[in-house]
Amino acid sequence: MYGSTGKLLSIDLSTKSYTTEDTRPYFKEYLGGRALNHILLFRDTDVARVSPFDPKNEIIFSAGPLCGTTWPSAGRLHATFIAPLPYSGWGDSNIGGAIGPELKFAGWDTVVIKGKAKKPTYIYIEDERIEFKSANDLWGKGVDESNSILRKRHSGSQALLIGPAGENRVRFASIRTHRSNSLGRCGGGAVMGSKYLKGLVIKGSTGVKIYDPEKFLDLSMKCQMDLMDPNFGPLHSQSNAIISQHGTAGFTSIFARKGMTPLKNWSQCGIWAGDVELTEMRGDKWWKRQDACYSCPVHCLGAYKVEDNKSPSSSGGPGYDSLVALGRNCLEPRAKIVLKLNAMCNDLGLDPVELGNSFSTMMEWYEKGIIDEKFTDGVPMKWGNGEGMLELVAKIATRKGCGNKLAEGPYRVGKELGKEALKCVYHQKGMCAPGLETRSAIGSMLASALSPRGSHHLSGFPTTELFNSPSVATRISGFREAGDIRSYHPEAKARLVQFYENLFELPDSMGICKYPLKHSIMPLVKNLQKMN
């Protein structure tokens, strides 16, 4: 095999044992990554009947064939599991950083984890060596501290960890690496917590086998350079230039002008005065450094410094979706508050998108008289009450006081409160939407509504429509109207979404990021054509 290692590691926490499997037969039909994860989950578990916290639930991590190579942005790892948060049955999430490549360097495409440990455990993988280690000393600690301890204990390793939120089965608990990256959505952290699994620590000593290393390196370098070349393609190079400089937060004003950035719990959209401070955090007193995932020249990530003894001193993010959820949707314009909230999410292991939506939904309930201060242990959920939000975050992560019910996520809490409360929850399949107001673009709305796991603009986001490109849309779908953001043409929009649903399977399955997708797909397609 080239690219893929051809090896799967299957771990049973209940019996502290593991087996291995040859993954090569799968690659005749499935690329790896997301595609392989889905096949394995549906093969191994009864997805319709197994509940998320049942030891029979599996959490599957796969690094696709390009992951760990020199290809641009080839550092993505895909996780799949029966999801605690959305009602879609299975859920999945995708992470950058360097953890995916480390898994490949250790000689594995995939790790499948099932069962439940008797006490807090972490799994140490160093090439073929697999060890079950006690995590008693880490249980209850934040991701930042746990990471420093583990990286000192196992030098040269990468770790995937949960924080107190995952340990306490908060339905929107994330899984994090030490850098700016999360498996944020669907509640994978709670699945790990239910298994008493604090994390995976991985150290690899091999490389990824390439059929023609010299040619591959040439092509990779060309793509790496094209990616940032403003003359390559006006659409992608411009957007890459924006996110290199400002992170995905740089998209806020562009989307806001198109009416696609929500405000005040999705009840409004458009330009907002509060955006000025929120989107210009780089280069000022909070900015620490630019950051990137493995092998990516775009560098869309950033680390920020938060001056406060109570919260971590520096942290990754926030990206566009977190900024919208914690800032605009809550009418909180202060960058300092949003950075602190985001840093707390990173350390406690919470999904900032669902957390922000929880707050903005409660603010609407409070305004409408559906809840009062008693519901939130004395905190008045007024619009822009950032101090109140800060007070509630740790309670939610540890399920203390009102945090116990809020840890269920806004959809389940809204259902308990009744019909009027549920009307204020903006969700698909029980999970709140990320930061794009898709009701103003019919194709994007269709893509979000049909997203298999729910609330996922990246499972088939029709960028052609967003950037209003009728000529590209005609080539893709056969209809000029598909690329017109104002058009309601049903067949045109359906065909466009179908194309993007299929297209976006590729990066998740190959182990690359979606931002530089065009630059990755075109040379590969040309080369495959030549080979055929």
| Spatial CA neighbour of 318 closest among 296, 336, 330 | 336
Three-state DSSP state, 274: coil
The size of the chain, in residues, is: 532
The residue (of 94 and 265) whose beta carbon lies closer to ligand SF4 is 94
CB 462, min distance to ligand SF4, A: 19
CB 314, min distance to ligand SF4, A: 18
DSSP 514: S
The residue (of 300 and 446) whose beta carbon lies closer to ligand SF4 is 300
CB 485, min distance to ligand SF4, A: 24
DSSP 483: G
Task: Say how far apart CA 180 and CA 383 lie, in whole Å.
Answer: 28
The residue (of 318 and 483) whose beta carbon lies closer to ligand SF4 is 318
User: Are 92 and 80 spatial neighbours (Cβ–Cβ below 8 Å)?
Assistant: yes
The residue (of 296 and 325) whose beta carbon lies closer to ligand SF4 is 296
Task: Say how far apart CA 48 and CA 236 lie, in whole Å.
Answer: 40
Q: How far is CA 200 from CA 50, 102, 124, 159, 166, in A?
A: 24, 11, 6, 6, 14
Residue 84's Cβ-count burial label (10 Å; 0-12, 13-18, 19+) is buried
CB 515, min distance to ligand SF4, A: 4
Enumerate the H helices of 81-212 as residue ranges.
99-105, 143-153, 164-167, 188-194
CB 244, min distance to ligand SF4, A: 9
The residue (of 14 and 245) whose beta carbon lies closer to ligand SF4 is 245
CB 297, min distance to ligand SF4, A: 8
CB 180, min distance to ligand SF4, A: 8
The residue (of 41 and 298) whose beta carbon lies closer to ligand SF4 is 298
Cβ–Cβ contacts within 10 Å for residue 110, how many?
26
Binding site for ligand SF4 (CB under 6 A): 73, 96, 292-293, 296, 298-301, 513, 515
The residue (of 296 and 331) whose beta carbon lies closer to ligand SF4 is 296
The residue (of 288 and 405) whose beta carbon lies closer to ligand SF4 is 288
Task: Say how far apart CA 133 and CA 127 lie, in whole Å.
Answer: 16
| Spatial CA neighbour of 507 closest among 496, 488, 520 | 520
CB 290, min distance to ligand SF4, A: 9
Three-state DSSP state, 467: coil
